[in-house]
C-alpha cells in the first residue's frame, strides 16, 4: 500500500510522516513536491505538518494554490483517504476540503506537549480500528490550532457526526482545562461530508513508537491500512 | 575618500595602532570600503584577537575528531559512518537590544553553521542568562525573557528542528546583559563533510538566499563593544530573521551537496559577505573576486561599503565547479531561490571587490586573516576574590530544611522550565527520546541503533568565585549530564561569555577559565571542536559573571538503553553515587536562602569525575539503572525532589549521609548534607534485584555508592542520621517547582 506525502516549501513533518509509513508500518511511501500534479499512484495521501510558506499571510493560505492541490481535491472527490496533520489540516481548511479555520491559540503561545485526544467517531478510514471514546495520548505542536467555525457549521458538523477527535483529560472528560488552544467544543479533528478526508491538529505520526513516549497514534495509520486493504478486496471482488 | 581621522577610526572600532597595521599590510591607505572590511574582520567577534593565544591551550584532537576548530562547525565520528556536527554560539548583544529578533537570528545563524558542513541539523539547545524577574529590573527582564523564548521558538519551530533542552539561570548580574547561547547539532556522512573553502581557478562563486539590505551593518563591531544607556540606538544593527527562507536554503543546500558540483560553502553570518569571501578564499589557498553589482539588493542606492558589511540574514556564499552552473541553478530554482553568480575564484589570494567593474577593495586575504592583530593582554587577579571567597558561617542562621527546599524549588533558576520548553517544538523529526526537561537532550539517530545525548552547562557564580574551578565544573557537569543519560561524552564546544578583555581582571578570568576548561576536557577525554567567544558583556561598566558555557555531546550505542531523571516506579532502591562533603560555597542555597554569593565553589577531582562518568555509562549499558540524575544545583535534596517530579507523585524515603562540614559550624552540618553541591555525584534508582549488580559495577569502577533509601509513597521524606529533616507531600513541592516561572507570565497564561 502506498502513502504519498505532499511536500510544500516549509513542510517540516514530511520526513516524520514518511518514517511512520515506511519504517514503522513497512508500507511504500513517496514524497510529492507541491509543484507536481500527480499523486504517484497513492492509496493514501498525507498533508504533513510544518510551516508551509512560513505561515506567511495565514497558515495554509498560500499552499492551497499549489498545483498538487488539484490532484488532492480530485483524489478526495474520488473517495481516496486524505489525512491532514496540523499544517496539513490548516491547508485542507483553506482549500475548502474541510470546513472552518484555525485561530491563534487563546494564550497566544505555541504549545508542544502530549495531550489527551478522544476518538469520537470510528466510521472514517483513519479511525476504523479505534473504539469510540478511546483516549489517545498524542503530541500537539502548534501556535494556531484554535479551531473555529460559525455556529451553523459547528451544528452541522455535530449533527453529521463529523467531529472525529476532541481534546480531553486523562479520563476522557471534555473539559476546558483539557483544551490546549481554545478550540470550539474542544474540537481537535474533523472529517469531510464523505468522511474520507480527515484533518487534525495533533500529530499521530509523532506517536507511533513507544520510544518516543507514545504509540497511540499508530491506530490512525493501521486503520487506513486495513480500510484500504478491505476496499482493495472489495474492488477486486467487484471486478 | 575623506581623510582618516580619529572619529572615523572610533566609529569602526579600530585603534590608531591597528590602522597603522592596515596601512603597512596594504602598503597604502585603505579606501573607505577597505577600512570597513578591515574593521569587521579585525573586530573581536571575528578575529578573536584577545582570546586566540589562549584558545590554543584547549585540547582539540582525539580519535573521534573529524573536524576541529576553524571551520563552520566541529565534527566527531559517532560510528556507522556518521558524524555529529555541532557548535555553540552567542547572540548576547542583539538579544538585549531586540530580544525576539536577536534570539531568532542567533538560532538561524547556528543552524547555517551546521548545514554548511553538509549535515542535516536534528537538534537545538540553548543556554540563557537573564536578570531576576522580581525587583527593579523585573518588568524589563520579563519582557526580555518572553521575547527571547518567543524568538527561539519562532525560528526553531518554523524551520522544523527540535529544541530538545538547555538551561536558564536568573541572576541580576545579567539584568542589563542577558546571555543567549545557542547550540545546534546535525548528522552528516563522516566521509562527506563540506568545508568552507573556495578553490579551482575560474570556478564560479554564487550568492544564494535573502537579498542584502542595510540591516546589521557593523553588527560584529557592536558585539565587540560594551553597552551603555544609548545602546537602544543600536537597534538598526540587529537583523530580522526569516526562518522560511532558511528552511528553503537548508533543503536546497542539502540537495546540492548530494551532487559533486559543490566545492565549498559558507554562510554569511557576522561580517556578512566580507567574512565569507575572505575566509573561503583564505582556507582554499585562493582568492575571490566579486562584483557587488550582481549581489541581490533589497534597497536601492546601497554603496559597496554597505553591501560588504551588511549582516542581512539567510544568505550563503558557494563555490561550485565550472560547467555545472545549470545544475546548481536548477536545484535552487526548485526551491524558488535565486542563485546569483557574483564572481569567480582567482589564483592571486586577493579579496577583490568591484562595483560595476571598478575595483573598490583589493586586499590580500593574508592581510585580513594572518596579519590580524593578536593581543596578549595583561591579566590581574581581581581584588574582589579574597573578599568573596571568605565565608563567615557564624553570622548566618541556618534555615529550616523544608522551607529551604521549597524556596530553592520555587526559585526560577531551579524551577521547572516547562513554561519555556512547551513553546519550543521539541519533538519534530521524531527522534527525541528524552523529552525536554527530563534530563540531557537525547535524540536517536535513525537508521542506526544509536542515540546522541547533549547538555549545555555553565555556572557563572562559581566562575565569579573561582574562574578556573568554575570552568572545570562546567565541563564536569555537562559531561556528567550526558553520562546520566547513558552516553559516553565524545566531544565538546564552548561559548565563553566575559566582560571587557581590556580590563586585566576580566582578562584574568578569561585565561583562568580557558585553562580550567582545557584541564578538565583533557582529563575527561572531551576534545573541544569549536565554539565562540563573546567579550565586552558589560553595561555601564558592570560586567556579567564570567560565564563559560560548555556543550558536551555523547553517544549511546543502544538508544533503547537511554536513562532519564524521573523515578520509574515504587519500591526501587535509591543509590547515591559519589561522596559529598557538604560544600556550600557559591551554592544555590546560599544565594536563595541567605542572598549570598560567597565562598569557593566545590572542589573537583577529575579522576573521580571520570570514574563516575564511566560507571554511569556502564550501568546504563548493563540496564541496571531505571533513572539517573546529576546531583549539582541545590544538592541531594533538590536532586531527589526533581527525581520525584513528573512521575505522577512517586515520593521517596531516604536517609542522607551526614557530612563533616569543613567549616566546623555544627549547626550547618544538616544543611550541608542536604544542599551542599559537592561535585562528581549522581542519584540513581534501581530495582532492588539489580542493586547488587550496580554495587559491583561501582566497586570495580572505584566509585563510592551508598544505598540511601527507596522510592514510594507520596511524600518526600529526607532524614539525616535517622532524624527527619524534610517531610513534604510531593504535590506541595512539585507545585512550588512547577509554577515558579509561569506565575510571572500569568497575564498571558491560558
How far does B418 lie from chain A, in Å, by closest CA? 10
Question: Which residue is associated with the grid cell 542535516?
Answer: B120
C-beta atoms of A54 and B242 within 8 A: yes
Which residues are CB-neighbours of B455 under 8 A, at least 6 positions away?
A: B125, B165, B440, B441, B477, B478, B479, B481, B482, B551, B552
Q: Which three cell numbers stand for residue A77?
A: 472527490
Residue of chain A nearest B247, judged by CA positions:
A10
Which of the residues B150, B160, B243, B433 would you substitute to probe the A interface, choosing the one with the greatest number of A C-beta atoms within 10 Å?
B160
Whether the model clears a pTM of 0.80, i.e. scores above it, the answer is yes
C-beta atoms of B423 and A111 within 8 A: yes
Residue B660: per-residue pLDDT: 63
| B213 φ, ψ (degrees, to nearest 5) | -120, -170
C-beta atoms of B427 and A141 within 8 A: yes
Q: How would you write the pLDDT of chain A (239 residues) with one tens digit per residue?
A: 999 999 999 999 999 999 999 999 999 999 999 999 999 999 999 999 999 999 999 999 999 999 999 999 999 999 999 999 999 999 999 999 999 999 999 999 999 999 999 999 999 999 999 999 999 999 999 999 999 999 999 999 999 999 999 999 999 999 999 999 999 999 999 999 999 999 999 999 999 999 999 999 999 999 999 999 888 765 544 44
Residue B215: per-residue pLDDT: 81
Question: Which residue is associated with the grid cell 589557498?
Answer: B285
C-beta atoms of B158 and A205 within 8 A: no
- Beginning with the edge strand found earlier in the chain, give each strand of the sheet holding B350-355 in spatial order: B262-267, B315-320, B204-209, B339-346, B287-291, B350-355, B358-364
Residue of chain A nearest B745, judged by CA positions:
A107
Which residues are CB-neighbours of A147 under 8 A, at least 6 positions away?
A: A100, A101, A102, A103, A181, A183, A184, A187, A188, A190, A201
Catalytic (active-site) positions of B: 45, 91
Residues 247-266 of B with CB under 8 A from A: 247-248
* Beta bridge pairs of residue B340: B207
On whether any CB of chain B is under 8 Å from the CB of A130, the answer is: no
Residue B747: per-residue pLDDT: 60
Q: What is the number of alpha carbons within 13 Å of residue B522 lying toward its C-beta?
A: 9
Q: How many beta-carbon pairs below 8 A join chains A and B?
A: 96
Annotate B186-233 with DSSP letters as a single string: EEEETT----S---STT-EEEEEESPB-STTTTHHHHTTS-B-TTGGG
Enter the ipTM: 0.96
CB B345 within 8 A of CB B205: yes
Q: Which three cell numbers stand for residue B537?
A: 558583556
Query: What are the chain B neighbours of A141 within 8 Å (beta carbons)?
Result: 157, 425, 427-428
How far does B416 lie from chain A, in Å, by closest CA? 15
How far does B355 lie from chain A, in Å, by closest CA? 34
Residue B667: per-residue pLDDT: 45
Question: Which residue is associated with the grid cell 500500500?
Answer: A1
Which of the residues B159, B314, B427 would you substitute to probe the A interface, choosing the one with the greatest number of A C-beta atoms within 10 Å?
B427
On whether any CB of chain A is under 8 Å from the CB of B313, the answer is: no
On whether any CB of chain B is under 8 Å from the CB of A34, the answer is: no
On whether any CB of chain A is under 8 Å from the CB of B525, the answer is: no
- Specify the pairing of strand A146-148 against strand A135-142: unpaired
Query: What are the chain A neighbours of B422 within 8 Å (beta carbons)?
Result: 109-113
Q: Which three cell numbers stand for residue B173?
A: 548580574
pLDDT along chain B (750 residues), means of 10: 77 93 94 93 91 97 95 96 97 93 96 96 98 93 97 98 97 96 98 92 96 80 65 64 96 96 91 91 94 95 93 93 97 95 95 96 91 95 96 85 97 97 98 95 97 98 98 98 98 98 97 98 98 93 96 98 97 96 94 96 97 98 98 96 97 88 56 94 98 98 98 97 94 98 74
Question: Which residue is associated with the grid cell 537508521?
Answer: B447
**A86 Rama sector, left if φ>0, alpha if ψ -120 to 50, beta otherwise:** left
For residue B158, give the H/E element and its range. helix B138-159
Query: What are the chain A neighbours of B153 within 8 Å (beta carbons)?
Result: 110
Of A33, A54, A141, the CB nearest to B428: A141
* Beta bridge pairs of residue A141: A112
Q: Which of B563, B559, B441 is nearest to A209 (CA)?
A: B559
Amino acid at each position: 500500500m502506498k502513502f504519498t506525502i505532499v511536500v510544500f516549501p516549509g513542510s517540516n513533518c514530511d520526513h516524520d510522516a514518511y518514517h511512520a509509513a515506511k519504517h514503522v508500518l513497512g508500507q511504500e511511501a513517496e514524497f510529492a513536491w507541491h509543484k507536481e500534479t500527480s499523486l504517484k499512484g497513492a492509496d493514501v495521501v498525507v498533508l504533513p505538518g510544518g510551516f508551509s510558506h512560513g505561515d506567511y499571510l495565514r497558515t495554509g493560505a498560500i499552499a492551497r494554490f499549489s498545483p498538487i492541490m488539484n490532484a488532492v481535491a480530485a483524489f478526495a472527490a474520488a473517495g481516496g483517504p486524505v489525512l491532514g496533520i496540523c499544517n496539513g489540516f490548516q491547508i485542507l481548511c483553506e482549500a475548502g476540503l474541510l470546513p472552518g479555520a484555525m485561530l491563534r491559540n487563546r494564550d497566544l503561545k505555541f504549545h508542544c506537549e502530549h495531550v489527551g485526544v478522544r476518538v469520537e467517531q470510528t466510521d472514517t478510514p483513519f479511525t476504523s480500528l479505534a473504539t469510540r471514546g478511546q483516549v489517545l495520548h498524542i503530541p500537539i505542536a502548534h501556535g494556531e490550532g484554535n479551531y473555529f467555525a460559525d455556529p451553523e457549521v459547528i451544528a452541522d458538523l455535530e449533527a453529521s457526526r463529523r467531529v472525529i477527535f476532541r481534546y480531553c483529560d486523562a479520563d476522557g472528560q471534555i473539559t476546558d482545562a483539557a483544551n490546549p488552544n481554545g478550540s470550539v467544543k474542544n474540537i481537535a479533528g474533523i472529517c469531510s461530508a464523505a468522511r474520507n478526508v480527515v484533518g487534525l491538529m495533533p500529530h499521530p505520526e509523532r506517536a507511533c513508537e513507544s520510544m518516543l513516549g507514545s504509540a497511540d497514534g499508530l491506530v490512525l495509520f493501521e486503520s487506513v491500512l486495513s480500510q484500504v486493504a478491505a476496499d482493495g478486496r472489495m474492488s477486486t471482488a467487484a471486478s | 575618500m575623506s581623510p582618516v581621522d580619529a572619529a572615523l577610526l572610533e566609529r569602526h572600532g579600530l585603534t590608531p595602532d591597528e590602522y597603522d597595521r592596515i596601512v603597512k599590510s596594504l602598503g597604502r591607505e585603505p579606501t573607505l570600503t577597505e577600512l570597513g572590511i578591515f574593521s569587521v574582520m579585525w573586530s573581536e567577534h571575528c578575529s578573536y584577537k584577545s582570546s586566540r593565544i589562549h584558545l590554543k591551550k584547549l585540547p582539540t584532537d582525539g580519535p573521534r575528531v573529524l573536524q576541529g576548530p576553524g571551520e563552520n562547525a566541529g565534527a566527531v565520528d559517532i560510528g556507522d559512518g556518521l558524524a555529529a556536527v555541532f557548535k555553540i554560539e552567542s547572540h548576547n548583544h542583539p538579544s538585549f537590544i531586540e530580544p525576539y529578533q536577536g534570539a531568532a537570528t542567533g538560532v538561524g545563524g547556528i543552524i547555517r553553521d551546521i548545514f554548511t558542513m553538509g549535515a542535516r541539523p536534528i537538534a537545538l539547545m540553548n543556554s540563557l542568562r537573564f536578570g531576576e524577574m522580581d525587583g527593579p529590573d523585573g518588568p524589563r527582564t520579563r519582557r526580555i525573557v518572553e521575547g527571547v523564548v518567543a524568538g527561539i521558538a519562532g525560528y526553531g519551530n518554523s524551520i522544523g528542528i527540535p529544541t530538545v533542552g538547555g538551561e536558564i539561570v536568573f541572576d541580576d548580574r545579567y539584568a542589563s546583559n542577558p546571555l543567549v547561547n545557542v547550540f545546534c547539532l546535525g548528522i552528516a556522512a563522516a566521509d562527506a563533510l563540506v568545508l568552507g573553502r573556495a578553490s579551482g581557478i575560474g570556478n564560479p562563486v554564487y550568492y544564494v538566499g535573502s537579498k542584502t539590505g542595510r540591516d546589521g551593518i557593523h553588527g560584529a563591531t557592536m558585539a565587540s563593544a560594551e553597552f551603555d544607556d544609548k545602546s537602544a540606538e543600536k537597534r538598526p544593527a540587529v537583523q530580522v530573521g526569516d526562518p522560511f527562507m532558511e528552511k528553503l536554503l537548508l533543503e536546497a543546500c542539502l540537495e546540492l551537496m548530494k551532487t559533486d558540483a559543490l566545492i565549498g560553502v559558507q554562510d554569511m553570518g557576522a561580517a556578512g559577505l566580507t567574512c565569507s569571501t575572505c575566509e573561503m578564499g583564505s582556507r582554499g589557498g585562493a582568492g575571490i573576486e566579486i562584483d557587488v553589482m550582481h549581489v541581490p539588493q533589497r534597497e536601492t542606492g546601497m554603496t559597496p561599503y554597505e553591501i560588504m558589511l551588511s549582516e542581512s540574514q539567510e544568505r550563503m556564499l558557494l563555490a561550485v565547479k565550472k560547467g555545472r552552473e545549470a545544475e546548481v541553478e536548477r536545484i535552487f530554482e526548485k526551491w524558488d531561490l535565486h542563485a546569483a553568480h557574483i564572481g569567480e575564484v582567482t589564483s592571486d589570494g586577493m579579496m577583490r571587490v568591484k562595483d560595476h567593474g571598478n575595483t573598490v577593495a583589493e586586499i590580500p586575504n593574508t592581510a585580513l586573516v594572518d596579519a590580524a592583530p593578536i593581543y596578549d593582554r595583561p591579566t590581574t587577579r581581581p581584588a574582589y576574590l579574597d573578599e568573596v571567597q571568605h565565608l563567615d558561617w557564624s553570622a548566618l542562621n541556618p534555615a529550616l530544611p523544608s522551607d529551604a527546599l521549597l524556596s530553592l524549588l520555587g526559585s526560577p533558576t531551579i524551577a521547572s522550565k516547562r513554561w519555556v520548553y512547551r513553546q519550543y517544538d521539541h519533538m519534530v523529526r521524531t527522534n527525541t527520546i528524552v523529552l525536554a526537561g527530563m534530563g540531557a537532550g537525547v535524540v536517536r539517530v535513525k537508521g542506526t541503533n544509536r542515540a546522541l545525548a547533549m547538555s549545555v552547562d555553565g555556572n557563572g557564580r562559581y566562575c565569579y568565585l573561582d574562574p578556573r574551578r568554575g570552568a572545570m565544573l562546567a565541563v564536569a557537569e555537562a559531561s556528567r549530564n550526558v553520562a546520566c543519560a547513558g552516553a559516553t561524552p565524545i566531544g565538546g564546544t564552548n561559548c565563553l561569555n566575559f566582560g571587557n578583555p581590556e580590563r586585566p581582571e576580566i582578562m584574568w578570568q578569561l585565561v583562568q577559565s580557558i585553562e580550567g576548561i582545557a584541564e578538565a576536557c583533557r582529563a575527561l577525554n572531551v576534545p573541544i571542536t569549536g565554539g565562540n567567544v563573546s567579550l565586552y558583556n558589560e553595561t555601564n561598566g558592570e560586567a556579567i559573571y564570567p560565564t563559560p558555557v560548555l556543550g558536551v555531546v555523547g553517544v549511546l550505542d543502544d538508544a533503547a538503553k537511554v536513562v532519564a531523571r524521573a523515578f520509574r516506579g515504587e519500591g526501587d532502591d535509591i543509590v547515591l553515587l559519589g561522596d559529598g562533603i557538604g560544600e556550600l560555597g557559591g551554592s544555590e542555597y546560599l544565594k536563595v536562602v541567605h542572598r549570598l554569593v560567597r565562598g569557593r565553589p566545590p572542589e573537583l577531582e577529575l579522576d573521580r569525575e571520570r570514574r563516575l562518568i564511566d560507571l554511569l555509562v556502564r550501568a546504563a549499558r548493563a540496564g541496571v539503572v531505571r533513572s539517573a540524575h546529576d546531583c549539582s544545583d541545590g544538592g541531594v535534596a533538590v536532586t531527589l525532589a526533581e527525581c520525584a517530579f513528573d512521575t505522577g507523585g512517586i515520593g521517596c524515603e531516604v536517609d542522607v549521609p551526614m557530612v563533616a562540614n569543613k567549616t566546623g559550624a555544627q549547626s550547618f552540618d544538616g544543611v550541608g548534607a542536604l544542599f551542599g553541591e559537592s561535585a562528581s555525584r549522581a542519584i540513581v534508582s534501581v530495582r532492588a534485584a539489580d542493586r547488587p549488580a550496580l554495587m559491583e559495577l561501582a566497586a570495580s569502577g572505584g566509585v563510592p555508592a551508598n544505598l540511601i533509601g527507596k522510592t514510594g509513597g507520596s511524600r518526600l521524606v529526607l532524614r539525616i542520621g535517622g532524624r527527619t529533616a524534610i517531610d513534604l507531600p510531593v504535590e506541595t513541592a512539585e507545585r512550588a517547582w512547577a509554577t515558579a516561572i509561569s506565575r510571572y507570565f500569568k497575564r498571558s497564561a491560558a
